[in-house]
Amino acid sequence: MAKKKFNPFVLLYVVSAILLIISIAPIADTARDIYSTKGRYSGYEEESLFNDFMEKDYAGLVKKVNYNKGIGKSISDDEQDYYTFAECYDIAVDYYMYIKLGDTAKADKLKEQFEAKAQTLNRKIFKEALETVKNTYIAVS
């Protein structure tokens, strides 16, 4: 019976596997730190706001806009219409709620706020979408 020779590559594979297992925890910790500083705390970018707007997920847009405001993200000129639209949408939904509850005094104040905010929109696409929102929540009541 022949004796097997020691293969140095087996030792190399074992040591490599051990080093890989040991390095997983620090890599995961670093990835978590990168995500928390770059991902969550940097806020939502215009592309994400655009996607919600185009998919007519206005509630999602409002959520993202409020999150960005909450963390103090600066608003670029290109993003301003998203923020204004989200505020108008929020006002329209609140208006609808107050009308359904029979509180016309609060609803009238909100309608005035809505009209004032709507005047500050710059781009046509936002104005057209806001007209749909107005027809849904304000004109119906």
Tens of pLDDT along 53-83? Answer: 999 999 999 999 999 998 888 888 889 999 9
> How many Å apart are CA 30 and CA 22, to the nearest integer?
14
Q: Which of 8-22, 78-92, 101-115 has the lowest mean pLDDT?
A: 8-22
Is residue 12 packed enough to be buried (19+ CB in 10 Å), middle (13-18) or exposed (0-12)?
exposed
Task: Supply 2's token pair.
Answer: 């022949």
- pLDDT band (50, 70, 90) for residue 36: low
DSSP state of 121: -
Separate counts of helices (H) and strands (E) for the chain: 6, 0
pTM of the model: 0.69
- pLDDT band (50, 70, 90) for residue 49: very high
- The answer to whether the Cα torsion of 45, 46, 52, 55 is positive or negative is negative
Q: Residue 43 pLDDT > 90, yes or no?
A: no
